Structure 1
Amino acid sequence: MNFNRSRKFRRKKRFYFSTDIKSALVCLLLAALFVSIIWFSAVYYLPQNPHLFSGYLAETIPLYKTFLPREEDILKDNLSVATFHYLLGINVTNPTTLIKAQIPVFNQFEYTPVIPVTPPIDKEPDDNGEIVNPPLPREPSEGGLVGKTILIYHSHTTEAFVPTSGIPHTEKFDETIVKVGEKLTEALRNLGATVIHDTTHHSKRHSESYRRSRETVLRYLNSGVEFDLIIDLHRDGIGQSSELGRPITTTTINGVQMGRLLFVVGQRHDSWRNNYILAQSLNNMAKSLYPVEQESLSISRGVVLKTSGNYNQDLSDKMILIEIGGHWNTLEEAINTVEPLAQIINKTIGD
């Protein structure tokens, strides 16, 4: 009897030992799955959001934020949200994805939010988003840009001017850098250029702006149109207050107060030097056409090299990021810079 009880005890012990192993294996599998998800999220999302961890540090250590370059001082992606989106196909910032996940028939329809801005008149994409018709040439006026084709777009479409709009970002595009792009388009067309002003809203999520604008630029480049200049037009975000920001981004030319120019080149690609040559050509022309005795009052703040990104400039040697003024300038001051900038472009790439 005692022998049988001993055997029974050993069987139970083996059973419990087997259960422990199973539990350990399940835990290991779950851990491996978790690590795989985190690894995939990092590999997939970090290249698109290179400043993710800088954003986290800025939230944890507020002083760190003051040392960040402007393009890093952005809204942060949440890695857990990104993982949730990857696993379930639901983007918590976009309610339509939840509806599509629960009611599959809605996947057959594409919803595009209504944006209060006139769509670009030169772009005619087909159902696949490809541009099937190149921009039609307009009747050229007399000017050195006849025969030149220029693309203007905005990675940060919501960049506004605080004295005008009351806030640094808004989707009222008549108060943002989009309006400045509209005026620059008119000025360049008056000089004979064929100009496409793309007003696609790229900054619905600020951290995805450059990825979205990259898709836009690629559609144009793949359309067969040869561009002589591609401008990503911005305004700067420098200065924690008007007293600190305005002296840096404001000047007076011929009695007119206007926003100063800044040319930005990203070094995170092999051919950045070609973009740098273009930027320096524009910068030198600006200082030649609008000379001042004091460098801090020049219409151009110069050329800034950024090691933190490429700003999609790896797509073309003809690409340049131009800042007009800053968020402490008025919209009118930024628009005042348009005519001088058009002349700078005219003298730089025109015949």
Structure 2
Amino acid sequence: MVHLRNRKNNYSGILIAISLVIMITVVSLVFKQIFLNRNNENEQNSVLYIQLLNKAMPVINGINYNDEVDTEENISIKGQLLKLIGIDIRNPFSVIGKEISMFTIGTEDSSENNKVVKRTLFKINPFDVNDKQINKSGQDTGDTENLELPNRNVKVNDPKLKEKLDNSKPQVLIYHTHTTESYSPYANYNTSHKKNVCSVGDSLAYNLETEYGISTIHDTTLHNAIFINSYHRSRVTVNKYLKKYKDFKLIIDIHRDGMPSGNVSALKERTTMKMNGENVAKMMFVLPKKNPHLSKNLAVSKKLEKISNKLFPGFCRGIDLHFNFGSVYFNQDLSNNALLIEVGSQYNSVKEADNTGKYLARIIAEYLHSKK
């Protein structure tokens, strides 16, 4: 009887030891995920931290986050922990590829409903050699400034569209809900206005005023110091200007698209074109489908898209309607003229994104001129 009790005590000790090891491992991984990656994923980490608090202490489950994070980042505790060991829970092939070395997982771009879709390829490769073990000539280093893209010569400015600048009644409002979204070669998020989407806003505002006499307000308020509820904060900014000026002919929330990891050159080609000998980041409109102002906002987007396709074919990547509500409708319920425009991706350089400003300014000038 004593022997059995000792055995049970030994088992209990072993279970406690194993539990402590697992707990320490998980805490270490979470610590690394939350605190050591602040430069690149500060906003994501904030959401992960809140999820951990909600799981560990249900009494504070009131701390929540909205669908702007859920739809744009798809963050979960399980997903973040598995990502640390190279497993993507949304891709079962990533598990098979790790267990059976002769199987390799790749991707292929294909077209579906006029959109580029990434599909998973499952291949058999009996000789799986790690890239670090060999020296490949021409290996992609991430330097994609010299992409071999076909050049298109276009007329950027039209002096006939220029008006007399009247700053007493601004026509265009530019702001940034995700103010810190930045471009290559910087991290995904950067507070410097010369490295993030504010730089694009500066370029657009400058070209609208100097080339076309269109009075523009460019608000660079930081709305996503914490990613959660950033749309609620930018909503306050937009309402402040609406209260003062009633409405604008265009209200533009400029973002930067977030592309998946992979072959940098191939991914960058999706969001880049060459016009007049310079690389230019492409742009895209994003609208939530359940927005009560959808018909009006969509009509504006379609008119701008039509002008873009006529002047600069291929420059506009289209209109994205895959969100249902977005987060507070991406503030597009505040005005019939509200837009969300994504310029390039994290693989585009700041210069390429800035170049977008003058082409987008021409499109907007054509649109406003047609409204008179």
Bin for the TM-score computed over the shorter chain: 0.5 to 0.7
**5+ residue gaps, structure 1:** 1-33, 67-140, 292-297
Instruction: Go from structure 1 to structure 2 and tell me whether the alpha carbon gap of 1:65 and 1:59 turns closer, same or farther (over 3 Å shift).
Output: farther
Task: Tell me if the contact between 1:156 and 1:202 (Cα under 8 Å) persists in the aligned partners.
Answer: yes
1:328 aligns with 2:347: yes
1:304 aligns with 2:326: no
Task: Tell me if the contact between 2:66 and 2:229 (Cα under 8 Å) persists in the aligned partners.
Answer: no
Following superposition, the deviation at residue 172 of structure 1 comes to: 1.5
2:347 aligned counterpart, secondary structure: coil
1:181 aligns with 2:201: yes
Q: Which amino acid aligns with 2:229?
A: E
Q: Which amino acid aligns with 1:343?
A: R
Instruction: Tell me which residue corresponds to 2:178.
Output: 156
Q: What are the equivalent positions in structure 2 for 1:231-242 lying under 5 Å apart?
A: 231-241=252-262, 242=264
Task: Tell me if the contact between 1:58 and 1:64 (Cα under 8 Å) persists in the aligned partners.
Answer: yes
Following superposition, the deviation at residue 59 of structure 1 comes to: 2.7
Give the TM-score of the pair, scaled to structure 1. 0.60
1:162 aligned counterpart, secondary structure: coil
Q: Provide the alpha-carbon RMSD of the alignment.
A: 2.8
Give the TM-score of the pair, scaled to structure 2. 0.57
Instruction: Tell me which residue corresponds to 1:114.
Output: none
1:325 aligned counterpart, secondary structure: strand
Instruction: Go from structure 1 to structure 2 and tell me whether the alpha carbon gap of 1:314 and 1:65 turns closer, same or farther (over 3 Å shift).
Output: farther
Across the two proteins, how many residue pairs are aligned to each other? Answer: 234
Instruction: Tell me which residue corresponds to 2:285.
Output: 263
**5+ residue gaps, structure 2:** 1-56, 92-160
The Cα offsets for residues 71-130 of structure 1, whole Å up to 9 and x where unpaired, read as: xxxxxxxxxxxxxxxxxxxxxxxxxxxxxxxxxxxxxxxxxxxxxxxxxxxxxxxxxxxx
Could you tell me the percent identity over the aligned residues? 31
Within 1, Cα distance between the matches of 2:355 and 2:311? 16
Structure number with higher strand proportion: 2
Q: Which amino acid aligns with 2:218?
A: H
Following superposition, the deviation at residue 245 of structure 1 comes to: 2.2
1:172 aligns with 2:186: no
Following superposition, the deviation at residue 233 of structure 1 comes to: 0.7
Instruction: Go from structure 1 to structure 2 and tell me whether the alpha carbon gap of 1:144 and 1:285 turns closer, same or farther (over 3 Å shift).
Output: farther
1:301 aligned counterpart, secondary structure: strand
Instruction: Go from structure 1 to structure 2 and tell me whether the alpha carbon gap of 1:196 and 1:307 turns closer, same or farther (over 3 Å shift).
Output: same
Q: Which amino acid aligns with 2:320?
A: V
Give the number of the structure whose alpha-carbon radius of gyration is greater: 1
Following superposition, the deviation at residue 215 of structure 1 comes to: 1.1
Within 2, Cα distance between the matches of 1:51 and 1:179? 26
1:142 aligns with 2:158: no
Within 2, Cα distance between the matches of 1:307 and 1:219? 26
Q: What are the equivalent positions in structure 2 for 1:1-351 lying under 5 Å apart?
A: 38=61, 40-41=62-63, 45-46=65-66, 51=71, 54-56=74-76, 58-59=79-80, 62=83, 63-64=88-89, 142-143=162-163, 149-163=171-185, 165=186, 167-190=187-210, 191-241=212-262, 242-291=264-313, 298-308=314-324, 309=326, 310-350=329-369, 351=372
The Cα offsets for residues 149-203 of structure 1, whole Å up to 9 and x where unpaired, read as: 110000111111122x2x1111122111101111111111121111110010011
